[in-house]
């Protein structure tokens, strides 16, 4: 079944265009509300959002959709995606909704859905809900229309939960941390959590105005945090994205530390304490070959999945793993969360930094990455990867890298972009291969 609405991470698109309209949001509320009304109890949905201007519109539309089919709504206001997952489960709700387009610019928005267990929905559930979007759904009787209420202590509940991911005796006293919240969903909770644990917090990206989320700040725009780390002589920088389910670290030398190095650190430290489950770590096909070699040298495995944290999590659940993530910064630590949580992952890194006594540049350089290059090619329409000339170029590149590198080419699940990645021990060869494929894709597009 071809998908019109759901991509690799829920529904996402430009506001008031295509699928991302108030009408669609209301229909999603009706469909998801109908799908999850099972049993004879009063049904409830938890809704959070990031700081985008369109969040107000989408939130109101979804409230209308859910209440129209008889579901009660609990509104959290601006909160990280992992907070929505956590509160969905802790409040015994039937469904959780996060209104966010993650690291995308403010003009975009999206809808992510969580089941009552706090996990993202399966493909089967999304297919079922998508099929219902084209149907006329029965509305609740006037006496059974749902109610909506806003809870005021959501921030405190989440802060308490993330602090609980560390032992009671762990404090961050003496650490000077630059924290970039991307003018997004974590702008109030993560600075508070780090301050309560004793850190000196220098916060940037904490003045959202509806239009500046991810604008030259956050985990995809690191110039601001690097400059602030240098200016303040901080011990470390933590950069979150718009919905705070991912992070990128900057060490005291303003060098970037990606998700692969973070997984290497957390995975090997848990293994040393006998707390790593599954015998290794789960990551996607985009993770560096150096991570795989490093884990293998420590007697651990790297299991690869398709791109998307939902696929990482599915493999983790199936194989009993408790550490997984993506090079882009999604860290899934199932001992503490049911989805990627940038704040929880940051606390694990900061705890290791305190206990080791090492500078971040030493602690977080766990392995030497193999030369890797990723380029994105934007296209206006069509299917450039099906072009025969593109396929021939890819086949030639695969033959060229056989036995000495990897090639990963895939369309983005959230925007009209073809991602071309290659890695191997010869950096010049990798660059040549990627550019040849990109040129072929551009010509076809």
Query: Do 115 and 185 fall into the same domain?
Result: no
Query: Do 15 and 148 fall into the same domain?
Result: yes
Query: Do 47 and 129 fall into the same domain?
Result: yes
| pLDDT recorded at residue 175 | 97
Cβ atoms within 10 Å of 32's Cβ, excluding its own: 28
CB within 8 A of 362, min separation 6: which ones? Answer: none
| Centroid of chain to Cα 408 | 20
Q: How far is CA 367 from CA 1, 144, 434, in A?
A: 42, 58, 24
Q: How many domains does the chain have?
A: 4
Q: Are 97 and 25 in contact (CB under 8 A)?
A: no
Query: Do 128 and 179 fall into the same domain?
Result: no
More confident position, 280 or 8? 280
Residue 102 annotated as catalytic:
yes
Q: Per the residue annotation, which of 60, 68, 90, 102 is the catalytic one?
A: 102
Question: Domain range holding 246?
Answer: 157-255
Taking only the tens place, the pLDDT of each residue in 131-176 is 999 999 999 999 999 999 999 999 999 999 999 999 989 999 999 9
| pLDDT recorded at residue 2 | 59
Query: Do 240 and 271 fall into the same domain?
Result: no
Whether residue 353 lies inside any domain: the answer is no
Query: Do 96 and 182 fall into the same domain?
Result: no
Q: How far is CA 382 from CA 1, 29, 374, in A?
A: 19, 31, 22
Whether residue 219 lies inside any domain: the answer is yes
Residue 327 belongs to domain with CATH number = 3.40.120.10
Taking only the tens place, the pLDDT of each residue in 269-293 is 999 999 999 999 999 999 999 999 9
Query: Do 239 and 292 fall into the same domain?
Result: no
Whether residue 352 lies inside any domain: the answer is no
Q: Are 403 and 302 in contact (CB under 8 A)?
A: no
Residue 425 belongs to domain with CATH number = 3.30.310.50
Taking only the tens place, the pLDDT of each residue in 52-90 is 999 999 999 999 999 999 999 999 999 999 999 999 999
Taking only the tens place, the pLDDT of each residue in 25-47 is 999 999 999 999 988 889 999 99
What's the mean pLDDT in 205-227? 98
Residue 74's beta-bridge partner residues?
A: 46, 149
């Amino acid at each position: 079944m071809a998908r019109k609405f759901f991509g690799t991470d829920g529904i996402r698109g430009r506001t008031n265009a295509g699928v991302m309209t108030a009408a669609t949001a209301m229909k999603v509320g009706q469909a998801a509300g109908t799908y999850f009304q099972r049993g004879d109890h009063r049904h409830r949905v938890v809704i959070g959002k990031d700081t985008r201007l369109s969040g107000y519109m989408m939130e109101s539309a979804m409230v209308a959709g859910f209440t129209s089919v008889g579901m009660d709504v609990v509104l959290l206001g601006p909160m990280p995606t992992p907070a929505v997952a956590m509160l969905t489960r802790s409040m015994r709700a039937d469904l959780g909704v996060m209104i966010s387009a993650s690291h995308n610019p403010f003009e975009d928005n999206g809808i992510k859905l969580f089941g009552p267990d706090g996990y993202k929905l399966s493909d089967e559930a999304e297919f079922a809900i998508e099929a219902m979007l084209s149907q006329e759904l029965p509305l609740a009787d006037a006496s059974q229309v749902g109610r909506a209420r806003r809870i005021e202590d959501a921030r405190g509940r989440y802060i308490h939960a993330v602090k609980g991911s560390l032992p009671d005796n762990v404090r961050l006293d003496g650490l000077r941390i630059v924290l970039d919240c991307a003018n997004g969903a974590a702008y109030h909770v993560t600075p508070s959590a780090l301050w309560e644990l004793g850190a000196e917090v220098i916060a940037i990206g904490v003045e959202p105005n509806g239009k500046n989320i991810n604008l030259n700040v956050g985990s995809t725009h690191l110039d601001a945090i690097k400059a602030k780390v240098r200016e303040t002589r901080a011990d470390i920088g933590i950069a979150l994205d718009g919905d705070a389910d991912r992070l990128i670290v900057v060490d005291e030398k303003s060098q970037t530390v990606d998700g692969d190095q973070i997984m290497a650190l957390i995975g090997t430290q848990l293994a040393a304490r006998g707390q790593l489950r599954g015998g290794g770590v789960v990551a996607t096909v985009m993770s560096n070959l150096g991570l795989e070699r490093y884990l293998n040298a420590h007697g651990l495995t790297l299991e690869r999945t398709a791109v998307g944290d939902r696929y990482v999590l599915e493999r983790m659940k199936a194989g009993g793993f408790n550490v997984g993530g993506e090079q882009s910064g999604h860290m899934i630590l199932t001992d503490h969360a049911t989805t990627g949580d940038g704040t929880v992952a940051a606390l694990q890194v900061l705890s290791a930094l305190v206990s080791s006594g090492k500078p971040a540049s030493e602690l977080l350089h766990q392995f030497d990455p193999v030369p890797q290059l990723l380029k994105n090619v934007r296209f206006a329409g069509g299917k450039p990867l099906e072009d025969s000339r593109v396929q021939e170029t890819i086949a030639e590149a695969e033959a060229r890298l056989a036995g000495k590198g990897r090639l990963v080419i895939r369309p983005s699940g959230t925007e009209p972009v073809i991602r071309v990645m290659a890695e191997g021990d010869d950096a010049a060869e990798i660059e040549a291969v990627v550019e040849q494929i990109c040129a072929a894709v551009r010509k076809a597009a």
